[in-house]
Amino acid sequence: MKAYVVEKEALSHNIELLQKMANGVPIWAVLKGNGYGIGVLPLARHLAEAGIDHFCVTEVREAELLRENGFEDDSILMLRSTGDPAELNRLMDLRVILTIGSWETACAINAIAAERADVVEAHLKIDTGMGRYGFLPEDMDHILGVYREQKNIAVSGVYTHFNCAFGSKKLTHQEFETFRKTVSAIREAGFETETVHCCNSSAFLRFPEMHCDGVRLGSAILGRVPFHTKLRPVGYAEAHVEELRVLPKGHPTGYGAMWTAREDTPVAIVPIGWYNGFRERCDGGITRFRDCLSLILRGLRGIFFRALPLVEVNGHKCRVVGQIGMLHIAVDVRGIECKPGDRVIVPINPLHVKGMKIQYR
């Protein structure tokens, strides 16, 4: 038996802390990637209980889920700039705030809105370095063109997304400066910029001066950011011991016989493996030089000191021995009491979870 457990209390702790830090600036909760792995709707409901009524999505389906399940009046921002007519029509049906990242998309949106005799709300995206969606800051003619010429679009916000907010402070400051100048230029041309926003979780936590009129938070809500904070990491896998074995001295376990018992060793077999998202490294996939170094160091330490991944059996930290299997691990339970059915906690990032039910508790 296994499940992925989301502790409501940890989630609430994080939301409360983030709200305090936001100090009145609205939090736009990002629900992409199935709510960072813990479910769009349960996460949105939990956030709503804390008073959050601004959400960001990247899929039409996520917006549908919200609108069909009681989130009729909440603000929903689509983070992708899409010119796909089918997507745009559906997003307009759902009264989603669109993102405009290019002149072509602005034209597509305006044409569809005009056909529908509608005026649709949208935020302009500025590309200050991410190089995916967004107007280049130099492209002022088109940026202003949206305000001046696209009569079926009501621009209610301007934003950017930093590429390095977890890393280089200098680059992020430069990007912020570029963004600020672009916003000023729009204002100087006589237009209201309304909701100006640029912070994701890392920027929010590291640069309070950049909070502007809204902050887009995802990973911080789950307490999974690549530096120390008072946030609590949300989520862990829970499984139960299936069998208990004693591997005699000299007997290996797992593929490749990577580990061999040095003495008769009691081992618990637990039905969770890499398929479920259990990896030796549960990092956020960030590749700063510093992170690469720490990864290499951890690797070396693993080689020299046999640093094996840890799980918790009956509240005791225990080492996983042998290779992590697709759906199984073997856990060294020397020195602790353990029997079939006992509870095992396995640290897994919810983004990697597969093949397990999500349970909010």
* Residue 220 touching ligand PLP (CB under 6 A): yes
Cβ closest to ligand PLP, residue 219 vs residue 323? 219
Subset of residues 64 to 103 that bind ligand PLP, contact rule: CB under 6 A: 79
Q: How many Cα atoms are found within 13 Å in the side-chain-facing hemisphere of 127? A: 15
* Cα dihedral: 138, 140, 141, 142 (round 10): 90
| Strand bridging mode 343-346 / 310-313 | antiparallel
Residues belonging to the chain: 361
Task: Specify the stretch interacting with ligand PLP by CB under 6 A; choose among 134-142, 215-223, 256-264, 277-285.
Answer: 215-223
Cβ closest to ligand PLP, residue 5 vs residue 217? 217
Task: Report the candidate in 356, 351, 352 with the shortest Cα–Cα distance to residue 43.
Answer: 351
Q: Encoding tokens for residue 10?
A: 């940890």
Q: Kind and range of the H or E element at 36?
A: helix 32-36
- Distance of alpha carbon 43 from its chain centroid, rounded? 12
Q: In a 10 Å sphere around its CB, with 0-12 CB exposed, 13-18 middle and 19+ buried, how is residue 213 labelled?
A: middle
* Residue 216 touching ligand PLP (CB under 6 A): yes
* Residue 200 touching ligand PLP (CB under 6 A): yes
At residue 292, the 3 state secondary structure works out as helix
| Options 8, 13, 32, 240; binder of ligand PLP; rule CB under 6 A | 32
* Residue 30 touching ligand PLP (CB under 6 A): yes
Q: How many Cα atoms are found within 13 Å in the side-chain-facing hemisphere of 292? A: 4
Task: Specify the stretch interacting with ligand PLP by CB under 6 A; choose among 3-11, 218-226, 260-268, 287-295.
Answer: 218-226
CB of 136 vs ligand PLP, minimal distance in Å: 17
CB of 162 vs ligand PLP, minimal distance in Å: 9
Q: Are 158 and 186 in contact (CB under 8 A)?
A: yes
Strands (E), the chain: 2-6, 27-30, 54-57, 75-78, 98-100, 120-126, 153-160, 195-197, 215-217, 236-240, 243-247, 252-253, 259-260, 265-270, 310-313, 316-321, 329-332, 343-346, 357-360
Q: Which residue is nearest to ligand PLP (CB)?
A: 218
CB of 283 vs ligand PLP, minimal distance in Å: 14
Task: Specify the stretch interacting with ligand PLP by CB under 6 A; choose among 174-182, 212-220, 243-251, 279-287.
Answer: 212-220
* Residue 218 touching ligand PLP (CB under 6 A): yes
CB of 94 vs ligand PLP, minimal distance in Å: 19
Cβ closest to ligand PLP, residue 31 vs residue 272? 31
| Options 219, 265, 323, 349; binder of ligand PLP; rule CB under 6 A | 219
Task: Specify the stretch interacting with ligand PLP by CB under 6 A; choose among 108-116, 196-204, 295-303, 328-336.
Answer: 196-204
**What is the contact surface with ligand PLP in residues (CB under 6 A)?**
30, 32, 79, 161, 200-202, 216-220
